[in-house]
Amino acid sequence: MKQILGLVFFTFVLIILSQFTGPVEIQINDLFQKNKNALSIFWDIRFFRTLAAFSVGACLGLAGLLAQTLFRNPLAEPYTLGLSGGASLGAVTTIALGFGSHPILMTTGTFVGCWLATFVILGLGIGTRHQIEEKTILSGVMLSFFCGSLITLFITWLEPQKLQSALFWMIGQIGTERDSYSPATFVVAVTMMIALTYSHRNLDRFLLHSDFSISMGLDLKKSVILIIFAITLLTSVSVTVAGLIGFVGLVSPHISYFLLKSSRHKYRVVLTGLIGGCFFLVADITARKLGGINEIPSGSFCALFGAPYLIWLLSKRRGFA
């Protein structure tokens, strides 16, 4: 519990830091004096950006936790399911059709791609009775490669300008006009934190071998489908805002395990969500500090910070639960 309180405090510090970081310097006095421009930047631009960074990070963290629990695999993350492939294919198709500058159509394309990928892997994996997790993860990886090839094909046909927007989309960043969708992402993040904490016992059962978990009264197939739906919902609302952001989903569950020294889900769900949010906020604040008026995609900092940190964490502990 004290870890959660600590992180809530850290989140607030980061939110304030994020609100005062950007190419335009804003003083607290500007806000009190109702400086129209400062207020506009503070609320209309930066507030949504901060909210987007936190919500996207939180959603990806939660999705990563679910993926690692479902597959009992420390390397699993939302994109292992082929969701990134589906989402990218949706986005690149939309760009290729010439709707790349239309925010609503881009969002729809991405969202549809993400969910189509889910239905494909469920269709492939669910048909059998045995080893449902293994089949799902293998279908996911295959789907990723398949979509990846299609994307490469599409990209070679794109004109330079469309190519650039496709590449920027795939690096993943916030600070675009899609930030304004972040309230929806935030609602999904909070709702999922509550819902998953509520069903923490069922999630804990997944950590056991599937024979044990079934004997403990878990309806395996139903639970797997529900978890995959939850992962897709979390991933799709974040990719529509930020494009492809890697690593947050992978690293957040590991940090929460390190802090809690336990893989039980009672506190871990909320903690992982908060860690994901903070992690991406830090990445975005750094991107803004270093970038100035020329935006650096914040997605590029995730692995830059995340990879060394994860290696350090792993070197400090013995086994994996």
Partner 1 sequence: MNKFIVFISLISLSVSVIANSPKRVISLSPALTENLFDLGVGKNIVGTTEFSDFPPAAKKIPRVGNYQRPNIEKIISLKPDLVLLTNEGVDQITVRLKKSKIPFVVLDTRVSKTYPSHIKELGELFGKNNRAKHLGNEWKKRLSEIPLPFVEIKTLILLEDSSAIVAGKNTFLDQFVTICGGDNLVKESGYPRLSREKLLSLKPDVLLYMGMTSNKKTLDQIEAKWKARNIRFEKVDPNTFGRLTIRLARNIGTLCRAVTGNPK
Q: Point out which residues bind partner 1 (CB under 8 A).
A: 22-24, 37, 40-41, 44-46, 101-103, 159-161, 163-165, 176-177, 180, 293-295
C-alpha pair distances (Å), 90 with each of 34, 158, 245, 249, 290: 43, 15, 16, 21, 31
Least distance from partner 1 to the Cβ atom of residue 209, Å: 49
Helix axes 220-242, 83-94, angle to 10 degrees: 40
Q: Which is nearer to partner 1, 41 or 89 (CB)?
A: 41
d(CA 90, CA 147): 10
C-alpha pair distances (Å), 4 with each of 54, 55, 201, 259, 279: 15, 17, 19, 10, 15
Three-state secondary structure call for residue 49: helix
Q: Which is nearer to partner 1, 38 or 192 (CB)?
A: 38
Taking the CA atoms of residue 129, residue 134, residue 135 and residue 140 in that order, the dihedral angle to the nearest 10 degrees is: 150
Q: Which is nearer to partner 1, 178 or 205 (CB)?
A: 178
Q: Which is nearer to partner 1, 176 or 232 (CB)?
A: 176
Least distance from partner 1 to the Cβ atom of residue 42, Å: 10
Q: Which two tokens stand for residue 294?
A: 């020329």
Least distance from partner 1 to the Cβ atom of residue 159, Å: 6
Helix ranges restricted to H, the chain: 2-19, 28-32, 36-39, 48-71, 83-94, 103-126, 132-157, 160-171, 182-198, 200-206, 210-215, 220-242, 248-260, 265-291, 299-316
Radius of gyration of the chain (CA): 20
Q: Which is nearer to partner 1, 40 or 149 (CB)?
A: 40
Are 57 and 276 spatial neighbours (Cβ–Cβ below 8 Å)? yes
Cβ-proximal residues to 201 (8 Å cutoff; 6+ apart), any chain: none
Least distance from partner 1 to the Cβ atom of residue 168, Å: 8
Least distance from partner 1 to the Cβ atom of residue 41, Å: 5
Q: Which is nearer to partner 1, 155 or 220 (CB)?
A: 155
Least distance from partner 1 to the Cβ atom of residue 170, Å: 16
Least distance from partner 1 to the Cβ atom of residue 59, Å: 23
Least distance from partner 1 to the Cβ atom of residue 161, Å: 5
d(CA 306, CA 300): 11
Q: Which is nearer to partner 1, 123 or 292 (CB)?
A: 292
Q: Which is nearer to partner 1, 39 or 226 (CB)?
A: 39
